[in-house]
């Protein structure tokens, strides 16, 4: 096997959608610097930077963003619901 084979099992070319989704998820979580995210994906930091400009990456990142907004809205609505007394329509 060639030494240039990445964790994706490939020697270059376009990344798969699954790899771009994983990259978007790691970038969205913002827990690691880009260098470590790239290492996790088996590519160099520059490749990750190029991927960030691909429409597939942007779509996956936007999907993560929308899911997070939806999750936090649900959480906020639950807190509001907990503070209201629904029988009388007023605050507890």
In terms of average pLDDT, the best of 9-18, 28-37, 65-74 is 28-37
The residue extents of the domains of the chain are 17-66
Average pLDDT taken over every residue of the chain: 80
**Cα angle vertex 42, ends 34, 38, to 5°?**
5
Residue 83 has pLDDT above 60, yes or no: no
H/E run at residue 33: none
Span 6-11, average pLDDT: 56
pLDDT in tens, 38-72: 999 999 999 999 999 999 999 999 999 999 888 88
Asked if 60 and 51 count as a contact pair (C-beta separation under 8 A), the reply is no
Looking at the DSSP bridge assignments, the partners of residue 91 are 84
Whole-structure pTM value: 0.65
Can you tell me the distance from the alpha carbon of 40 to that of 17, in angstroms, rounded to the nearest whole number?
A: 16
* 63 alpha carbon, distance to own chain's centre: 8
């Amino acid at each position: 096997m060639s030494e240039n084979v990445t964790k994706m099992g490939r020697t270059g070319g376009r990344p798969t959608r699954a790899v771009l989704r994983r990259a978007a998820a790691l970038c969205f979580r913002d827990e690691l610097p880009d260098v470590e995210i790239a290492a996790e994906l088996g590519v160099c930091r520059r490749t990750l930077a190029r991927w960030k400009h691909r429409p597939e990456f942007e779509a996956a990142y936007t999907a993560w963003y929308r899911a997070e907004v939806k999750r936090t809205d649900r959480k906020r609505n639950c807190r509001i619901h907990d503070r209201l007394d629904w029988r009388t329509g007023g605050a507890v």
